Structure 1
Amino acid sequence: MAVGKVSMAGWALCMVLVLAALAGTVAETRYEKFLRQHVDFPQTSTLAAHRYCETMMARRRVTAQGRPCKPTNTFVHASAEELVAACSQAPDAKGFHSTPTSMALTTCRLRGRDTHPPCAYRARQVQHHVQVSCLNGLPVHLAGSYPPSQ
């Protein structure tokens, strides 16, 4: 009987280790989260701009069931490589890195004051430079955007 208990304990430990290893491979890095929440290249086409925001916010899990609606989120319609290139630019006084060229963006802002799903968004499309925070040469936070100088 003692052998059976040892085998069962060994099997349980093995399963815990396997599950822990699997959980580790599913974990999202900060860069992967940045890409999921902010990069849509090439841009997903939809019928109307407001539908774009509501579709993308849900599809990319920016808003999730049981959680408050995110007040604002920006999707960049440029390649991940173009945003990674921003990290090689000198940071500004606040430590943000800017893209050397302007990019197509869609900013989604929550309509109304209700912060509980279903979330309704207003879309605004602009051509702006993007400011990011970088970690180990990769963008991990979209800090803002600004229009190109005229």
Structure 2
Amino acid sequence: HHMKQSLNRRYKKFRKQHINKQMNTSDCDERGIFKVEDNKKVCKPVNTFILADESKVISVCQNGTKQGKCMKSNDNFKLVTCRLTNNQADYPECLYQGARYNRRVLLLCENLLPFHYEANFGNCLA
């Protein structure tokens, strides 16, 4: 039971960081993108948002194609990738440039819920 709770927390974090149907390339700076290093928030170099319903993203874990540790979607998703433009900045001064893509996604799943968006195929095989 406890296991399930922490899992849902991981999924909720994934959802907040990576699923946003209304995401626009100009919204990157408003999304409060960060990662935690040494217990403090730092600017995350890249973050990708999937522009789709939650259920479609979750279904990748169920119906996708296994690629090493990852599940690969069978269909393309609309994506917005936010890249940090001011690399020396400290959080919350992070500024991002957004770009649109249309491609398949790689996700790490646990109990059929995604918890990590994988940008680099090589990491699935590691």
Judge conservation of contact 2:86–2:94 (CA < 8 Å) in 1. Answer: no
Runs of 5+ unmatched residues, structure 1: 1-24
Q: In structure 2, what is the equivalent of residue 91 of structure 1?
A: 66
Length, aligned pairs only: 110
Counterpart CA distance in 2 for 1:145 and 1:125 is 17
Q: Taking CA–CA contacts closer than 8 Å with sequence separation of 6 or more, which of the two structures ends up with the larger relative contact order?
A: 2
Runs of 4 or more, structure 1, over 6 Å off, are: none
Whole-Å separation in 2 of the counterparts to 1:127 and 1:115: 29
CA contact (8 A) 1:63 1:70 kept: yes
Contact kept, 8 Å, 1:76 with 1:103, in 2: the verdict is yes
Greater Rg over alpha carbons, structure: 1
Q: Tell me the distance in 2 between the aligned counterparts of 1:80 and 1:144.
A: 19
- Greater share of residues in strand: 2
Correspondent of 1:122 among 90, 97, 101: 97
Aligned-pair identity in percent equals: 27
1:63 aligns with 2:43: no
Q: 1:118-145 CA distances to partner (integer Å, 9 max, x unpaired)?
A: 0011111111111000000111100127
What is the CA-CA distance between 1:110 and the residue it aligns to?
A: 0.6
TM-score, normalised via structure 1 length = 0.65
Deviation at 1:113, TM superposition (A): 2.4
Give the aligned residue type for 2:47: N
Deviations 1:85-141 (A, max 9, x none): 11122311x211011110110000111321413001111111111100000011110
Partner of 1:35: 15
Show structure 2 runs of 5+ residues with no match. 122-126
